[in-house]
Amino acid sequence: MGDMLKGRVALVTGSGHGIGRAIAIALAAEGAKVVTNNRKPGGKIDAIISKDQYDALDEASKKKLNEEYENYSGDAEKTAARIKAAGGEATPCYADISNFADAKRLVETTVSTYGKIDIVVNVAGILARGSVDEITEEEWDVCLDTKPKGHFNVIHFAAPYMIKQGYGRIVNTSSGAFMGNLFYDAPHYCASNAGVVGLTRAVAGELFSQGITCNAFCPHAQTRPRMDDIAPKQDDGRPVFPAAPDPMNMTPFIVFLCSELSAHVSGTVFFLNDNLIARHKEPIAVRTMIKPMEKGFWTVEEIDKAVDAQLLNGYHSIVGKVK
């Protein structure tokens, strides 16, 4: 047990299992009082596999699935119980952060239980997959309502308390998908996580002068939706999500971002994988081509002549070569 966060009060959304649980445990181990959260008691196996899919499995697969599921599932109460068993302080609060009123209740519960709120770590999120022409409106909404909207909801209600006390640490979970980095189609998931990065930058800029920082991280760790035997298989039978690191391994850096030591760090996106920590670039303009305004606006023909040597000199599309 350390004391880097002694006296601090933290809310960790989506901390019933996986990355959120690891972070809640790590913050508590450094002395923070933690409110744990997930949507409802007792995660259900049908959160990752439909009943039909489950029934279609053979007995050995069902057994393995159930064992794995125990490892990677849980709820806010179980996480809080683990923290308390290790000598820390924690209180569970069930709430769906995509619901505005729930988010309010979650923040108010934190404040009424521990008297204030210093730290918000938004981990709640869902994994989504689908091609642009197959995604339904419902799938789009479920994805975007959790992130960025759910993350916004929680920050919206926590910010006034942080502004009042002149101190706060906000950390949001994004994904490499914010850059389009995926090995399958999921444009809604990309939009959702890019929205989180935008939210992070916006909040960082607004609240920096008031002692509040806001950063985002893109994790790579073993989590419930990643479970090999359950996740949908790719066409060649390889699991979509190969085994990933224990989420506990990335928590030291989250503790740093939640501590007083990171006061100068805000609006930045990090990538975490085991002990690897990467800081992302800002998407600033890197090449510019100009035509004097007094000569009138560009024409398409002029652009076509100038673009290769100027704006697109050295250009490499993220898609490689377009067919």
Nearer to other proteins, 86 or 276 (CB): 276
Question: Minimum CB separation from other proteins for residue 224, in Å?
Answer: 21
For helices 18-29 and 76-85, give the axis angle rounded to 10 degrees. Answer: 30
Q: Which listed residue (69, 94, 189, 315) is catalytic?
A: 189
Residue 149 DSSP class? I
Residue 234 DSSP class? P
Question: Minimum CB separation from other proteins for residue 216, in Å?
Answer: 11
**Burial of residue 99, with CB atoms counted within 10 A of its CB: 0-12 exposed, 13-18 middle, 19 or more buried:** middle
Nearer to other proteins, 86 or 311 (CB): 311
Torsion angle of the four alpha carbons 100, 83, 24, 19, in this order, in degrees rounded to the nearest 10:
-110
Question: Minimum CB separation from other proteins for residue 49, in Å?
Answer: 25
Q: Do 231 and 225 touch, CB atoms closer than 8 A?
A: yes
The answer to whether 189 is a known catalytic residue is: yes
Question: Minimum CB separation from other proteins for residue 62, in Å?
Answer: 32
CA distances in angstroms from 223 to 141, 178, 204, listed in the order given: 22, 19, 28
Q: At 119, is the secondary structure helix, strand, or coil?
A: strand
- Which pair of tokens denotes residue 238? 């390889």
Nearer to other proteins, 198 or 239 (CB): 198
Nearer to other proteins, 6 or 63 (CB): 6
Q: Do 95 and 37 touch, CB atoms closer than 8 A?
A: yes
Q: Do 212 and 159 touch, CB atoms closer than 8 A?
A: yes
Question: Minimum CB separation from other proteins for residue 75, in Å?
Answer: 25
> For residues 144 and 148, what is the distance between their CA atoms, to the nearest angstrom?
6
Nearer to other proteins, 49 or 207 (CB): 207
Question: Minimum CB separation from other proteins for residue 59, in Å?
Answer: 35
Q: Do 24 and 79 touch, CB atoms closer than 8 A?
A: yes
Please enumerate, as own/partner, the contacts of 224-227 that have beta carbons within 8 Å and a separation of 24 or more. 224/17, 224/18, 224/43, 224/47, 224/48, 224/69, 224/72, 224/73, 225/48, 225/126, 225/127, 227/48, 227/65, 227/68, 227/69, 227/72
Distance of CA 232 to the CA centre of its chain: 21
Nearer to other proteins, 91 or 172 (CB): 172
Q: Which residues are catalytic?
A: 189
